[in-house]
Structure 1
Amino acid sequence: MIHIAMVEDDTELADVLTQYLSKFNICVTNYEDPFIALSAIALKEFDLIILDLTLPGLDGLEVCKELVTKYDIPIIISSARSDIADKVIALELGADDYLPKPYDPRELEVRIKTILRRFNKQMPKALDEVKEIFTLDEERQEIKKNGKFIKFTPAEFQIMSLMCKRKGFVVSRYDILDSCDFLNSDEDSGSIAVIINRIRHKIEEDSKKPEYFITIRGVGYKLVE
């Protein structure tokens, strides 16, 4: 099993990433406080560190500097800070990758795998064996379930495409309206709920008891696997 230390004060994001990565035999221990994180990393063995830059009490770049100075552990910066200077400084300090938020958890998993292979870490076999149920190919405008192509209308595709990109995260109705420009032109769409119901008929065993495209009451929707 791969052991990762995450330094992230966004607990919702940390929970989503922890649950997602666990499917790939990756155990994540999250620390909201950077000082506690530094103490824990000094005492325990980790294969990789995922580090946010905006942290309470201590800037993430300072944490990165201390980690690089003391340990030979690969670091992925996971940050919402868009300033190119932060990215340059982090990489110059010795971080191995910089992943701007928001991102697809799948991308994080691939980057972890790539970096650990570069560091000659032994990757668990399960990491390559786990397959996603839903796959999105934006170039071909295709979405497949367990390798089988599903035909969607333009509005259905845009919504399902958004959900695939935000897999594991809650997507609000506002996010859907803002991202999907085919909604108004889709025939007999009526509402987002109607389109989502059509999607469920195509991807669920029982559309009335969805396992994958679930409703988070009062908040929005989530695609889970």
Structure 2
Amino acid sequence: MSSERVLIIDDEPQIVRFLRPSLTAAGYEVVVAVTGGEALKAAATQSPDVIVLDLGLPDMDGKDVIRELRSWSKIPIVVLSARDREAEKIAALDLGADDYINKPFGIGELTARLRTALRHAAQKSGEQTRLKAGALDVDVLGHAVTLAGKPVKLTPKEFELLAVLVRNSGRVLTHRQILTAVWGPAHTEDLQYLRVFIGQLRQKLKPSAQAPDYILTEPGIGYRFNAEIG
């Protein structure tokens, strides 16, 4: 059972009535805010471990809540919204949201995403430098990658790209975030360049059609490193 505190920021009573008992049953302590102003106060005074945020709030846009929170807090944020346009998702993620789920949604998916966001936050606080997932072993500090015990030869840029994905394991990274981290702010529009490198990495990490996918595509948004491989 979880003991983390989750702050729900949503002004739809039916969503709150569904989420509060569902998350309580999953072991979370639940705090609710229905406006952006209440949310920012609760985030500062209630010490939530993770936030579930709707973008459509009565007093301010949810993206402004993300922007304000990220000016002082690293609390993981999972956006839960009916806005399904790619531009909205990209904007929220670029501002610092950790994940994005469309309404309608399943509670199983939401709790899984919350666990991933919390795990990522814990890893980031200690900085993720070693990751084992399935047959893959990535040693970021040692600049070494093995697959099924065999060394994987990567170019310096391929390794840098993989390291960014690994450090953010389970989190959706937008094209812009990845390009800025690996190639710098002057290359934020070089999507084809990124696709080529992602393709090369996938080929080296997926030697056969039956092998698992370590790098997942979020269509129109970016990529997510999949560490949920046994």
TM-score, structure 1 normalization? 0.52
Distance 1:2 1:68 in 2: 20
Distance 1:21 1:100 in 2: 18
- Aligned match of 1:165: none
- Aligned match of 2:112: 110
Map residues 43-62 of structure 1 onto 2, 5 A cutoff: 43-62=45-64
Does 1:12 find its partner at 2:27? no
- Aligned match of 1:97: 99
Does 1:2 find its partner at 2:4? yes
Q: What code does the residue aligned with 1:5 have?
A: L
When Rg is computed on C-alpha atoms for both structures, the one with the higher figure is 1
Unaligned 5+ residue runs, structure 2? 124-230
Distance 1:71 1:86 in 2: 21
Return the offset for 1:35. Answer: 0.5
Return the offset for 1:42. Answer: 1.3
Match of 1:31 among 30, 33, 37: 33
Return the offset for 1:57. Answer: 1.3
Secondary structure of 1:120's match? helix
Superposed CA deviations along residues 66-119 of structure 1, whole A, max 9, x for unmatched, are 111110100000000122111000000110000010000111011111111122
Map residues 79-98 of structure 1 onto 2, 5 A cutoff: 79-98=81-100
Distance 2:115 2:13 in 1: 23
- For the aligned residues, what is the CA RMSD? 1.1
Give the count of matched residue pairs: 121
TM-score, structure 2 normalization? 0.51
Map residues 137-156 of structure 1 onto 2, 5 A cutoff: none
Distance 2:112 2:65 in 1: 24
Match of 1:119 among 118, 121, 125: 121
Secondary structure of 1:119's match? helix
- Aligned match of 1:127: none
Secondary structure of 2:80's match? strand
Distance 1:27 1:16 in 2: 15
Map residues 146-225 of structure 1 onto 2, 5 A cutoff: none
- Aligned match of 2:70: 68
Unaligned 5+ residue runs, structure 1? 122-225
Identity of aligned residues (%): 36
Distance 1:108 1:58 in 2: 24
Distance 2:30 2:82 in 1: 20
Superposed CA deviations along residues 13-37 of structure 1, whole A, max 9, x for unmatched, are 1121111111121112111111011
Distance 1:115 1:108 in 2: 10
Q: Which of structure 1's runs of 4+ aligned residues deviate more than 3 A?
A: none
Q: What code does the residue aligned with 2:15 have?
A: L
Distance 2:27 2:84 in 1: 31
Distance 1:88 1:100 in 2: 13
